[in-house]
Amino acid sequence: MTEASSLTWFDHYRGGWIAGIAHYTETGGLKFKDHTVSGVVTYNSRWRRTGGWLFPKPVGERMAPYAASGGAIGPDGLLYILGHDRPEMYVLASPAMGPTLIHVATIALEAEGQAFAFAEGQTIHAIDRRKGAVREISLPIVDTSTFMDARQFR
């Protein structure tokens, strides 16, 4: 999943790293690798690949023709990602097994994609690139109790 792709974000994960790997459908991509093969890859502390998952189809379709521009594991152990230009954040869980992450929530934001970082608790600082501003946003608590196969990343 890493040939002719972009590493768009990374975070600490189980003594190593978890990283967003982006492929684009229309620009800068390969004919045989479009946004549908974007996802996350895990690495050990020496940046050797240890695994990974694809984005769920509904999330990939919302981010098309791009992929996740920002991502981080939240204090609740879930993976939060931002697409390239929509004012929404996708909350993902690790599957008990299988190649695709579990989409547990979509959160409307006052920022249109790109980079963000967790501050304290469920608060993030997000870049609103269209307005040239950094916004402080309090995220809601996400309930995963209805997702039997959803696992935390921490």
Is 23 part of a structural domain of the chain?
Answer: yes
Is 110 part of a structural domain of the chain?
Answer: yes
| Distance from C-alpha of 97 to C-alpha of 75, rounded to nearest angstrom | 23
Is 1 part of a structural domain of the chain?
Answer: no
Please say whether the beta carbons of 19 and 48 come within 8 A: no
Identify the pLDDT of residue 120.
93
pLDDT digits (tens, 9 = 90+) for 39-77: 899 999 999 999 999 999 999 888 776 777 889 999 999
When divided into structural domains, the chain yields a total of 1
Is 55 part of a structural domain of the chain?
Answer: yes
pTM exceeds 0.85, yes or no: yes
The residue behind tokens 């916004």 is: 135
DSSP states along 59-114:
HHHHHTTS--SEEEE-TTS-EEEE-SSSSEEEEEEEESSSSB-EEEEEEE-SS-SS
Is 70 part of a structural domain of the chain?
Answer: yes
